[in-house]
Amino acid sequence: MLDDLKYIHQRDGQDALGIAEKQWQQLQINFDIPPLEGKFTNIVFAGMGGSALSALLSTTWPGHKLPFEVCRNYTIPLYVSANTLFIASSYSGNTEETLEAMGQAADQGAKIAVITSGGALAKHAEEKGYPLAQLPSGYQPRHAVLVSFKALLDILGAAGLVNRQQIDDTLQSSTQFLQNATAQWRPDVATKTNRAKDIARHLAGKSPVIYAGPLMFPAAYKWKISFNENAKNIAWCNQLPEFSHNEFIGWNSHPIDKPYGVVDLRSSFEHSRVQKRFEITERMLSGKRPHPIVVQAEGSTVLQHLLWLVALGDFVSIYLALINGINPTPVDLIEKFKTELNK
């Protein structure tokens, strides 16, 4: 099935696989953000779903020298003030939680910047004179994560919170790396040599459970979202070492033949004790849970590991959608939910 290009083109009518293959190009887009002046003491990023993923990626790379919080809610922290850099992100520009949060941030005097492709958020940015990173249109939010990530980096650079030259140099080398990596998972690469197709095949008919250490957890969360929205599969994720303190023992009962597919996203950049926890977990839970699919991140930097895992998860989830016999792009039930919410 996954090697049948005619079947793939029929099911993937909006070319989710093509977007996944070319996502490295999103890192090459530059946003002309004017200097953001202020004595910032913290950063708050407001966004929901795929629009919040770029913020999670930034906690691993480049990291933040100031306190950084991702707000997935209608309300914002009480500490938001004139010394806060507040970034409102909504791909559509119409996410009600983000719009309300931005209004509160304005009331509390925060310095606001916006990431969106249009909608009400772009209109507010233009009316209020907020710095605006205008994203290209035509994507699903989960398919525009890397361009949103680049927009966030450019905003942080404009605020003097990252070294722009170092960021650009690292991204340049990582972009070529990602281009080479995604070529290995194209639909015209046979399952026997295509890791993404092989993983999808092993996860068919199961509910994925994805584990990672703290550095790679943003990728694990992206896998979860991609399974939810691309494959229309329920999925969960968690991170070590927290897993070892509670969820670990939850696998100890009931038959081994549980309806789950366990995936471990591992990186040599994780803390040595986290890496040891993965090894001990696999040994001690052998016979008590499905044997995990171990995915060892590739690359020479922490950013390359992160990007490699994010991209692989996109391909796996799209191939799983095709196995499920569905178009990976539309999210009709979410759109119906929004309609019901607005009645």
Residue 282 and residue 208 in one domain? yes
The answer to whether position 328 is within a domain reads no
Verify whether residue 245 is a known catalytic residue.
Answer: yes
Q: Residue 254 has what pLDDT?
A: 72
CA–CA separation, 138 and 16 (whole Å): 12
Report yes or no on 27 lying in a domain. Answer: no
Domain count, the chain: 2
Peptide bond into 35 cis (omega under 30): no
- The SS3 call for residue 90 is strand
Tokens of 175: 């972009």
198, 246: one domain: yes
Give me the CATH number covering residue 119: 3.40.50.10490
Domain contains 4: no
Q: Is 288 annotated as catalytic?
A: no
Q: Structural domain of residue 240, as residue ranges?
A: 184-323
* One domain, residues 142 and 65: yes
Same domain, 149 and 268: no
In this structure, the answer to whether residues 279 and 227 fall within a common structural domain is: yes
CA-based end-to-end distance of the chain: 42
> Please, are residues 311 and 25 in contact by the beta-carbon 8 Å criterion?
no
Note whether 205 and 152 are same-domain residues.
Answer: no
Q: Are residues 197 and 115 in the same domain?
A: no
Looking at the DSSP bridge assignments, the partners of residue 138 are: none
The sheet with strand 68-71 has its strands ordered as 68-71, 42-46, 84-90, 111-116, 132-134
Cα-atom radius of gyration of the chain, to the nearest Å? 20
| 245 lies in the same domain as 280 | yes
User: Active site residue: 245, 335, 340, 343, which one?
Assistant: 245
Instruction: Mark residue 120 as left, alpha or beta (left: phi above 0; alpha: psi -120 to 50; beta: remaining).
Output: alpha
pTM: 0.95
Are residue 206 and residue 116 in the same domain, yes or no? no
Residue 332 maps to a domain:
no
Active-site annotation holder among 9, 22, 254, 338: 338
Does 154 lie in the same domain as 55? yes
Q: Which residues contact 262 (CB under 8 A, 6 or more apart)?
A: 208, 209, 211, 289, 290, 291, 292, 293
Q: Report if residue 252 sits inside a domain.
A: yes
The verdict on 305 and 188 lying in the same domain is: yes
Catalytic residue among 229, 232, 270, 305: 229
Transcribe 26-52 into DSSP letters.
GGG----PPP--S---EEEEE--GGGG
Give the Cα separation of 169 and 179 in Å (integer): 16
| Tens digit of pLDDT at every position of the chain (343 positions) | 899 899 999 998 889 999 999 999 999 999 999 999 889 999 999 999 989 999 999 999 999 999 999 999 999 999 999 999 999 999 999 999 999 999 999 999 999 999 999 999 999 999 999 999 999 998 988 899 999 999 999 999 999 999 988 999 999 999 999 999 999 999 999 999 999 999 999 999 999 999 999 999 999 999 999 999 999 999 999 999 999 999 999 998 876 677 999 999 999 999 999 999 999 999 999 988 999 999 999 999 999 999 999 999 999 999 999 999 999 987 888 888 878 888 7
- Same domain for 210 and 275, yes or no, is yes
Judge whether 232 counts as a catalytic residue.
Answer: no
Q: In what order do the strands lie in the sheet with 207-212?
A: 236-239, 207-212, 260-266, 293-296
